[in-house]
A and B are shown apart, each in its own frame.
Chain A
Amino acid sequence: MSKQYPKPKLVPVPSTNIIPERDIDKSPILECRHLGIDFGGLTAVSDFNMAIGRTEIAGLIGPNGAGKTTVFNLLTKVYQPTRGTILLDGHDTHSMTTAQVSRAGIARTFQNIRLFSRLSVEDNVKIGLHNQTAYPMWSGIFRLPSYWKKERVAHEMALELLSIFDMQDLADHQAGSLPYGAQRRLEIVRALATGPSLLLLDEPAAGMNPSETAELMENIVKIRDTFQIAIMLIEHDMNLVMGICEGICVLNFGKIIAKGTAEEIQANPAVIEAYLGKKEG
């Protein structure tokens, strides 16, 4: 029933330079067409159009309350869109639930951290691996061979994933007792564990100091290169956004006001107005 995902490879796959041109999949991993949602009479997001390439790092920025997190909630089906279509790898996600969207390949982190705080770090990652290390409930109760086999795989994969952020030594700690930055990183690891093709990061650098942010930037690029996935992030730290995002989308009052590369966005008068207000005179 559930789709089988290949084990994530931590060895970098060949860079695009040596893959023949004809083998590169140019179709977008995610495409939003005229996406919109109303809450009662309030239109939170309207006419949201966006496409993300298969290994693109995309940024979603905008002033507070612009509807950025709402977009994430629409993509992960926490909210059912009022209008428009979301195409994940060409398939409409209209009838899917949050869990099904996750299985189809969208993973996310949360603005306010949502870890399984009473469980260990390793168990948090193992819960992320839930659909990739599947075995029946009976097997777990009666400790059949598939239990031992899959549990060992889950343990090894969990430690391997934790090693992205050098967190394998924290595996036995309670997730809720970790420092703030480590909790944010653990959320990313857990999201990666689901084997996504698109990773949504909601303010990954919130509350981090400049050196931690710099490290995070490196890691986001490293994750993209290692897993060959698309990443879309919401962030207020402009150094991070302008530093690593290949495509940036600016949202204000639920509408896209600008799209483009970092340079284009920085020069765009509509963006400057949204952030700083209208120029006098």
Chain B
Amino acid sequence: MSGKAKTLRMRKTTVNSFINYAMVIVLFVVTQILIGQGAVSNTIQSMLVPVCCYVVMAVSLNLTVGILGELSLGHAGFMSLGAFSGIITAAVLKDAVASEPLRLAIAMVVGGIFGCIGGVIIGLPVLRLRGDYLAIVTLAFGEIIKNVIQVLYIGLDENGLHFATKESNMVMSEAGTFVVRGPMGATGVTRLSSFAAGFILILITLFVVQNLVDSRAGRAILSLRDNRIAAESVGISVTKYKLMAFVISAVLAGMAGALYGLNYSSTVASKFDFNTSILVLVYVVLGGLGSIRGSIIAAAVLTLLPELLRNGTINEYRMLIYAVILILVMLVTNNPTLRGAVDLIAKKIRSIGKKEKAEGGAQ
């Protein structure tokens, strides 16, 4: 009996994870086929890498907001750290590493490391705070990162990197070029990102987050969300596991940032502002707190939606329609009556499936 119960239970979580992997893989393959047939417009094609980045951002933020249960409003800050450190790394390694995918991979790892450093620096003091305070400090952090990068000038010449806070103070040889130019951001970036790289990053993110949640550390993180006092009473270190979830989330955001930064020839720091943090939070909330599949779908659909609405007569109203759709989804997911109806349908479908399974088992 217990053995059977175990395999059933194992199957439930594992099946859920595998559905997510399968969904991402199928979407990737279908998109590639459509691109091959020329059925995907150029605008949509140019959206594919950002979609991957936002999916990774949403899944990683879900780890903090949905699974750890702490509201973070500075997730774009980590993305920004990753983007600029990734761009600089790629620029430095331009001659040293000839292979573009390898350079992109190294840049993403460096982006992740910077995300990690940022996560630890912010997380250590901030995670001792609770609720609103945490939200406010993370919000401030995102703004600080943005403002620091806006006054940062980074030049590259044969002697290496040079830093300055004013353009006139920059000392470098004549062959040197600016990598980051204050408010102008990073310019002249070699575009390295590809849809395939984004796809791999999504798979890595799913692997890390799903396996983490379904392990001892993940249960500890979930227990902090459900009841902090009880979690402490069974010997779970609050700071350790909060920091763990927060830093992993920041690392993934940093990697997504590097991918995002290397997708455009120029990137400005103000791209990663409060609005972007909120946008990602909207994906997480709409997809369902704690639901990884929801985050993937919400991020992908909502990133593409404004572009899909861009054609023809509704072009002028596209942001209006976008807002209405957001409100409708919020209403449907939070309205008990509507939700009850949706649950009922889901239950019926499930019971039909179960009946078939039971009949199959009897034979």
Which A residues have a C-beta under 8 Å from some C-beta of B? 76, 78, 97-100, 102-103, 107-108, 110, 114-120, 122-123, 126-128, 130-131, 133-135, 137, 139-143, 147, 150-151, 154-155, 159, 168-169, 171-172, 190-191, 193-194
Contacts and interface: CB of A to CB of B under 8 A. Distances in A.
Given A116-B223, A142-B211, A193 B2 contact: no
Interface in B227-247: 227, 229-238, 244
A116 B226 contact: yes
A102 B216 contact: no
Contact of A122 (B9, B218, B227): B9
A127 B231 contact: yes
Given A102-B233, A130-B219, A141 B212 contact: yes
Query: Which of A133, A140, A159 has the most chain B CB atoms closer than 10 A to its own CB?
Result: A140
Interface in B75-128: none
B215 interface: yes
Contacts of A151: 215-216
A160 to B, nearest CB: 10
Contact of A134 (B207, B211, B214, B216): B216
B235 A130 contact: yes
B56 interface: no
A133 B208 CA distance: 21
A107 B233 contact: yes
17 contacts: A99-B238, A102-B233, A114-B229, A115-B226, A116-B231, A119-B219, A122-B9, A127-B220, A130-B219, A133-B216, A135-B216, A137-B212, A137-B215, A141-B212, A150-B216, A151-B215, A172-B8
Query: Which of A100, A108, A115, A141 has the most chain B CB atoms closer than 10 A to its own CB?
Result: A141
Interface in B190-230: 207-208, 211-212, 214-220, 222-223, 226-227, 229-230
B234 A140 contact: no
B357 interface: no
Nearest to A135: B216
Contacts of B2: 159, 168, 171
B5 interface: yes
Given A108-B233, A141-B208, 8 more contacts: A100-B235, A102-B232, A102-B234, A127-B220, A130-B219, A135-B216, A140-B211, A151-B215
B234 A194 contact: yes
Nearest to B6: A155
Interface in B149-197: none
Contacts of A150: 216
Nearest to B2: A159
A196 B307 CA distance: 59
Contacts of A119: 219, 222-223, 226
A116 B227 contact: yes
In order of increasing CB-CB distance, the 9 nearest A-B pairs are: A140-B215, A102-B235, A116-B226, A114-B230, A98-B232, A137-B217, A103-B235, A127-B223, A141-B211
B234 A130 contact: yes
A115 B220 contact: no
A123 B227 CA distance: 13
A117 B216 contact: no
Nearest to B12: A172
A245 B226 CA distance: 33
Contacts of B234: 102, 107, 127-128, 130, 190-191, 193-194
Given A127-B220, A137-B244, A147-B215, A115 B230 contact: yes
A167 to B, nearest CB: 12
Contacts of A107: 233-234
A172 B8 CA distance: 10
A194 B235 contact: yes
A123 to B, nearest CB: 6
B109 to A, nearest CB: 16
A47 B218 CA distance: 42
Contacts of B6: 155
Contacts of B1: 169
Contacts of B212: 137, 140-141
Nearest to B237: A99
B129 to A, nearest CB: 17
B235 A116 contact: no
A114 B235 contact: no
Nearest to A160: B2
Contacts of A103: 235
A130 B236 contact: yes
B30 to A, nearest CB: 29
A123 B226 CA distance: 12
A131 to B, nearest CB: 5
A114 to B, nearest CB: 4
Given A107-B234, A130-B234, A118 B215 contact: no
Nearest to B8: A172
A219 B299 CA distance: 51
B6 to A, nearest CB: 6
Contacts of A159: 2
Contact of B5 (A78, A114, A172): A172
Contacts of B227: 114-117
Query: Which of A120, A127, A190, A193 has the most chain B CB atoms closer than 10 A to its own CB?
Result: A127
B337 to A, nearest CB: 22
A141 B235 CA distance: 22
